[in-house]
């Protein structure tokens, strides 16, 4: 079986999963491909914090969407890459 390609997930893309803004359709399609096993996602270790913080002040987000989004991100179980110092 062929291994799924790996995409690096930026917080700006994950924010589009939860808040309506330009480019949301492509972002949602990426999430669907991940859910279907067509791609794997690699994300920085701080992605949940970055997304939660961005949604906290996003003009198109509700008050509770930030915490819901963070919980959902943890449940997705994509590859988390920690930052290393040299």
Distances (CA, A) of 49 to 15, 26, 38, 63, 81: 11, 22, 26, 16, 14
Residue 28 sits at the vertex; the CA angle it makes with 22 and 32, to the nearest 5 degrees, is 165
**pLDDT of the residue at 74:** 86
pLDDT in tens, 34-79: 999 999 999 988 899 999 999 998 988 887 888 898 889 888 888 8
- Map tokens 């917080």 to a residue: 11
Angle between helices 11-18 and 24-35 (to 10 degrees): 90
DSSP 72-83: HHHHH--EEE--
Return the structure tokens found at 26. Answer: 């492509």
Give the chain's domains with CATH numbers: 6-81 (3.40.50.1010)
**pLDDT of the residue at 26:** 97
Q: What dihedral angle (degrees, nearest 10) is formed by the CA atoms of 16, 73, 40, 80?
A: 120
**pTM score:** 0.84
């Amino acid at each position: 079986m062929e291994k799924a390609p790996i995409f690096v997930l930026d917080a700006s893309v994950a924010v589009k999963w939860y808040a309506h803004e330009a480019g949301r359709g492509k972002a949602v399609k990426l999430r669907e491909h991940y859910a279907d096993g067509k791609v794997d996602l690699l994300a920085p270790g701080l992605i949940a914090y970055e997304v939660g913080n961005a949604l906290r002040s996003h003009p198109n987000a509700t008050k509770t969407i930030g915490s819901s989004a963070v919980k959902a991100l943890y449940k997705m179980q994509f590859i988390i890459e920690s930052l290393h110092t040299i």
